Amino acid sequence: MSKVSFQVDALVRAKRRIGLRMVLVYAVLYAVFVLSHVFFPSFPGRDWDGISWGVLAGVALMVVSVAMAVLYHLLCSRIEREFRP
Amino acid sequence: MLYEQSRLAVGLFLMMIALVIGLSIHLVRRVSSPSGYFAAGGQVHWGVNGIAFVGDYLSAASFLGVSGMIATVGYDGFLYSVGFLSGWIVALFLVAEPLRRLGRFTFTDALDAHFNSRGLRLVAAISTLVVSIFYLIPQMVGVGALVTPLLGIPNYIGVMLVGVVVTVIVATSGMASTTYIQFIKGILLMVVATVVAWSVLERGLQMPQSPVVLDELAAVEQSDGRLQFDLPGCRVAEDWRERPAFAAGFLRVYQGDESAPWQIVSREDGRYRLRQTQFLERHEDGRWLYNGAPADSQRLFLVGTPARLTYEGRDVQATGPLSPLSFLRTVYHSELNLWPHKTYLDELGQVQVFYQKPVPGAELFQPGGLFALRSGSWTERLDFISLMLALICGTAALPHILIRYYTVPSQAAARKSTIVAIGGIGFFYLISLILGFGAMTGGHLNVMDSNMAVPLLARSFGMALFAVVTAVAFTAVLGTVSGLIIAASGAVAHDIMDRVLGLTMNATEKVVSGRLAAVLIGCISIYLGIVFEGMNVSYLAGWAFALAASANLPALLMALFWSRTTRQGVIASVLVGLVSALALIMLSPEMYLRYGLLASEAPFALNNPALVAIPLSWLTLIAVSLRTRPPA
């Protein structure tokens, strides 16, 4: 195996590791969101200063999606710089 | 009158058609190779591709369906938004870069990269076709809902017109024109949604100035069991107590030649108080009747108003301009007139009755409108989990989304374009919350067509905004349908004709075969758009997601991440996922309603098959791969 293809494989593996870890974190958050509706169905209807917990949780999950996407990009970019010949 | 035609709307509609066809013809010269036709040459800028992703994804199901669902059932519609957006995280973290690295034109390319198997290519192509066609249905249904009131033409002509336009777009310059149409559409959608949401907030909430007054009837039960009405000429059937309508909480009252189900509001000591409803039923000759007459008789009336408006702790007539948070807070503390519906079977067939029900705002912010989670029923709970599973797993397995990764030059560009998509789509779904509750309270809701909630909300601000919104919603459908058709034509021309059947074709012939396949898929989409008229488009999209998630995602992820995966395992997984998801959809309560039967008779209790079909597909892949592993 050439040095370049070994480096490409290592880069792919490194990014894959980050992706798998981050998707796991997100899956847990999503599962908590879904299961809280299943087991505590009146929870989303309760309010915090007139805004329902359900909307707050849903919007928070959306914001977390964007934040994690940006974080993933920053981490991948850093690794790509490290692997750049 | 529910809908009226506007010259401005028709003008904008025609201008959009001219623009997209002009663009397609302009780009046709650039499309001489399969790479140009199926992947826009692979040189699209990541920013453009990201917005095109937004345009590709925010289909009729999102623009019309999600807001429409929030407008009619409240919070449960918002749960769709959360699920739809979450799917993009799976796409970004697990699929975007490997797919760009391994594939060329189609989803099948990436799946088959390590196996080079003709059988695998065939099943993956079939799966792409089935998923794309299922996703085409809600788009075409949405376009029928839009074009019919806009142009004043029958639904089937509207669907045919749009089907022809979109087929022309794809059959001329393929992914090149599709990309730029989706890019334009993505920007337009976000701008228009922002303008409508801003208008809703600027207007604030207000009590209706001329509220719809529903007729009421009173009846007294006589000693012989008959009902005596306060209005002369009204009567009910002799066996009215035995009728399904009565069991559902209604009485069918006859006045002259006509009859209608009335809601039983109260009954005490043989005294009944009845209230007018809106209803949908099938006539003996097979036509659908809306409030007892054909659709063009305009008997439906618009609803959706506050029953009580509470702003900053006191009841008011109008709030004035509101911030997004004050808007949601005011809805939460107020009481709104909703129009839920019940369905029963009588001698003429299925009857769907919509009745007014004042509901406290707080109740609209918890599950119940679609998912009866508070009932404690495990069927409802499992159905909800199944849908949310389909939504998070489905996006990363939708072929028309996946092929967009081939249009950018690198893996980093694929990643960056996905992040742009997540930002744009997330922003749009946040706005949908305001649009949905704005439509619920704006007095312009058609209870029988939730898909029209946003256009009708726009109409409450004037015909100009209505015209712009319908024209943009029309491009929303065009952009997504063209993406779906190109994905399906790739499956036929590139996967099946070229790589499965091994037909020897030069570059030009491959492009021509792609174009012919696009025409064929376009014709199928027109037919399906007519057959499924009237269903909520987000609901239908949920099925497409379930199919994609069951048939494609386990195979794709395992092929990318599990080194023991074998081609036999992938083939079995795709087939099992596809067949089981399709079969369970056909046996679901919602389909039983479409067959004209009762939902309770359906053999499979869940409406969404993902909870069963995805694990089944996954287990099949693991079991078959382990059994067919070549010796070390």
Residue-wise pLDDT for B54-82, tens only, equals 988 887 667 778 898 899 889 999 999 99
A26 has a chain B CB within 8 A of its CB? yes
- Give CA–CA dist B135/B129, Å, rounded: 10
Q: Is B123 a domain residue?
A: yes
Tell the burial category of B464 from Cβ atoms under 10 Å away from its Cβ (0-12, 13-18, 19+): middle
Query: Residue B125 maps to which CATH number?
Result: 1.20.1730.10
Is residue B534 over pLDDT 70? no
Amino acid code (one letter) for B349: G
Query: Regarding beta strands B250-255 and B234-235, do their DSSP bridges make them parallel or antiparallel, or are they unpaired?
Result: antiparallel
**Complex-level ipTM:** 0.93
Burial readout B258-278 (b: 16 or more C-beta within 10 A, e: otherwise): ebbbbbbbeeeeeebbbbbbb
Collapsing DSSP to helix, strand or coil, B343 comes out as: strand
Residues in chain A: 85
Residue-wise pLDDT for A14-61, tens only, equals 999 999 999 999 999 999 999 999 999 989 999 998 899 999 999 999
Q: Is B300 a domain residue?
A: yes
Q: Is B571 a domain residue?
A: no
Q: List, in sequence order, every residue forming a beta bridge with B261; answer none if it has no partner.
A: B252
Whether residues A37 and B85 touch (CB distance < 8 A) is answered with: no
Whether residues B388 and A58 touch (CB distance < 8 A) is answered with: no
- Give CA–CA dist B369/B538, Å, rounded: 14
Helix pair angle (A53-83, B75-90), 10° resolution: 10
Q: Is B567 a domain residue?
A: no
Collapsing DSSP to helix, strand or coil, B588 comes out as: coil
Residue-wise pLDDT for B194-204, tens only, equals 999 999 999 99
- Smallest CA–CA distance, residue B415 to chain A, in Å, is 7
The predicted structure's pLDDT at residue A82: 85
Residue of chain A with shortest Cα separation from B83:
A30
Q: List, in sequence order, every residue forming a beta bridge with B262; answer none if it has no partner.
A: B251
Same domain, B357 and B436: no
Distance of CA B148 to the CA centre of its chain: 17
Same domain, B237 and B315: yes
Domain ranges for chain A, please list them.
3-83
Set of chain B residues whose Cβ sits within 8 Å of the Cβ of A50: 325, 328-330, 332-333
Domain hosting B262: range is: 216-364
Backbone dihedral angles phi then psi of residue B275, each to the nearest 5 degrees:
-130, 145
Amino acid code (one letter) for B139: Q
Residue among B93, B365, B412 minimizing CB distance to A55? B365
B142 falls in which pLDDT band (50, 70, 90)? confident
Whether residues A15 and B97 touch (CB distance < 8 A) is answered with: yes
B1 falls in which pLDDT band (50, 70, 90)? very low
Whether residues A76 and B412 touch (CB distance < 8 A) is answered with: yes
Instruction: Output the DSSP codes for B3-43.
Output: ----HHHHHHHHHHHHHHHHHHHHHGGG--SHHHHHHGGG-
Same domain, B100 and B66: yes
In chain B, the number of structural domains is 2
Same domain, B222 and B199: no
Same domain, B198 and B272: no
- Give CA–CA dist B201/B442, Å, rounded: 11
The average pLDDT across B9-21 equals 86
Residue-wise pLDDT for B428-438, tens only, equals 999 999 999 99
Q: Is B617 a domain residue?
A: no
Same domain, B222 and B349: yes
Is residue B262 over pLDDT 60? yes
Same domain, B324 and B425: no
Q: Is B601 a domain residue?
A: no
Same domain, B20 and B131: yes
Same domain, B34 and B133: yes
The alpha carbon torsion through A31, A33, A37, A40 (nearest 10 deg) reads: 100
Residue of chain A with shortest Cα separation from B80:
A58
- Smallest CA–CA distance, residue A37 to chain B, in Å, is 7
A17 has a chain B CB within 8 A of its CB? no
Q: Is B81 a domain residue?
A: yes
Same domain, B394 and B312: no
